[in-house]
């Protein structure tokens, strides 16, 4: 995706750099709690995972115009969500934040 034409790109890239690790940490914590039988950990893990996904869904909606037009036949929001959820935009977001 092209972050250059996005308004507030540093803020959005920073949000993504926080939301993606939170989502992954929530998923890993949820799996660990399933294996160990912890009772409090699933609540914290669920909050991290859902919070991270809510931010990523919002970013996908905001960044739908940054998806290259010829790269896909699908909905740009879906393409943006896939790229953000899979972590494929981490290097680009890091470059934007670093300037």
Averages of pLDDT over runs of 10 residues in the chain (99 residues) are 86 96 94 84 90 95 80 79 93 94
Could you tell me which of 10, 18, 44, 19 has the C-alpha nearest to residue 30? 44
Report the pLDDT value the prediction gives residue 10, as an integer from 0 to 100: 94
Ranges of each domain in the chain = 19-98
Spatial contact of 61 and 84, defined as CB atoms under 8 Å apart = no
Alpha-carbon Rg for the chain, nearest whole angstrom, is 15
Report the pLDDT value the prediction gives residue 19, as an integer from 0 to 100: 97
């Amino acid at each position: 995706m092209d972050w250059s034409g996005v308004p507030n790109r540093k803020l959005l890239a920073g949000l993504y750099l926080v939301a993606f690790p939170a989502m992954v940490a929530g998923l890993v914590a949820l799996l660990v709690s399933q294996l160990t039988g912890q009772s409090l950990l699933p609540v914290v893990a669920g909050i991290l995972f859902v919070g991270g996904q809510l931010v990523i869904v919002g970013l996908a909606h905001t960044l739908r115009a940054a998806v290259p037009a010829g790269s896909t036949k699908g909905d740009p929001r879906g393409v943006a969500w896939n790229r953000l959820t899979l972590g494929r935009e981490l290097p680009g977001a890091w470059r934007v934040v670093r300037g």
